[in-house]
Amino acid sequence: MSFPNSPCAACKFLRRKCTQECVFAPYFPPDQPKKFANVHKVFGTSNVVKILNELDTSQREDAVNSLAYEADARLRDPVYGCVGLISVLQHRLKQVQKDLDDAKMELASYIGPYAMLPVLNQGFTPQIAHMTPSLAPVLPYNTRPVMGVAGNFQDCQHQHHTQIIPDTQQQQQQQQLLIFYDM
């Protein structure tokens, strides 16, 4: 928006005449007086002038927007400012990641990681695949082969030198597989 005869928000706030060379005019239009008032209250006019004069004209708009954002955040939270907002968002992100990991673990306990293998990691052969190739895609993770399913399990066990994994080790391997899937 163009305001040819109107002073910029900074000059209006400072009660001075706005000139053609006014460093504030392009960045603090007259219809946004609160923007400059907040920046002035937090940083001070002379500091803002120094910052703007040290920057290239192509960087000034971004600098003013950053100053305005930080000033608004400082007025809401005088101690932490926008760092407090960043901290809250990082905490939320960690919580959402934890919730997602918990959901993956629960889902894996219902359908097993083998159901997700084609989607998550093609080419990876799980530990059960070395027992008998026909059992690997059929068995859910928390189940063990039994007699009568794809041949005699005891024959497979002696043939391939495998052993039944206790439940605690099996749960640890399940967690390791899920971690591997996240990579």
Q: Is the dihedral of CA 117, 123, 127, 131 positive or negative?
A: positive
pLDDT < 50 positions in the chain: 1-2, 121-125, 128-139, 143, 145-165
Q: Where does residue 77 rank: exposed (0-12), middle (13-18), buried (19+ CB within 10 A)?
A: middle
Instruction: Please calculate the CA angle 48-50-56 and round it to the nearest 5 degrees.
Output: 100
* Contact present, 28 and 35 (Cβ < 8 Å): yes
* Contact present, 18 and 36 (Cβ < 8 Å): no
Per-residue pLDDT at 108: 81
Per-residue pLDDT at 70: 94
Q: Record the pTM.
A: 0.52
Q: Where does residue 160 rank: exposed (0-12), middle (13-18), buried (19+ CB within 10 A)?
A: exposed
Per-residue pLDDT at 89: 95
Of 25, 114, 107, 14, nearest to 64 by C-alpha is 25
Q: Is the dihedral of CA 167, 172, 173, 179 positive or negative?
A: positive
The amino acid sitting at 72 is D
